[in-house]
Amino acid sequence: MEKLRTVRGVHDLLPDALHKHKKVIKAGLNVSSKYCYSEIEIPIFEFSEVFKKPLGKSSDIVTKENYIFKDRSDDELMLRPEGTSGVVRAFLNAGLVQDIPQRFSYFGPMFRYERPQKGRLR
């Protein structure tokens, strides 16, 4: 049977590797919890202006190194290239400004359209 291609820079997490991956994430979340960080989960994609405003419309991340697509309503969406912008958007939209300081921890896939460096994955 012919193998299907895998995108350069990505890999599958099979059971053993996934188990180790989850242990590392759990350990990181435990440490962040001890230092009063609250876990937050943000969407994998956002309206592109969430990233364009703070990063600058002409930054490399916005102009070259991202995955942008339009939805059926013709809104421009972007797979998150980093987490800070989405966390700030969530913080502001939830009206948490009056409750500062706040500490948030998060993890998850980030997407950049770039050639992966040797030994690194997307």
Q: How far is 86 from 69, CA to CA, in rounded Å?
A: 17
**Residue 112, pLDDT score:** 84
63 lies in some domain: yes
Structural domain contains residue 24? no
Domain assignment present for residue 17? The answer is no
> 70: which 2 tokens?
């339009």
- In which band, very low, low, confident or very high, does the pLDDT at 55 lie, cut at 50, 70 and 90? low
Confidence of residue 58 (pLDDT cuts 50, 70, 90): low
Its pTM stands at 0.80
Q: pLDDT digit string (tens) for 64-117?
A: 788 999 999 999 999 999 999 999 999 999 998 888 888 999 999 998 887 767
Question: Per-residue pLDDT for 122 more than 60?
Answer: no
DSSP 20: H
Q: Is residue 26 part of a domain?
A: no
Residue 28 falls inside a structural domain: no
The number of folded domains in the chain is: 1
Q: H or E stretch including 104?
A: strand 104-105
Q: Which residues of 54-68 are buried (b: 16+ CB within 10 A; e: fewer)?
A: ebeeeeebbeeebee
Read off the CATH number of the domain in which 50 is found: 3.30.240
Residue 92 inside a domain? The answer is yes
pLDDT at residue 118 is higher than 80: no
**What pLDDT sits at residue 85?**
92
- Per the structure, the complete domain to which residue 55 belongs is given by 41-105
pLDDT score for 14:
97
Res 76: pLDDT: 94
Residue 34 lies in a domain: no
pLDDT at 63: 66
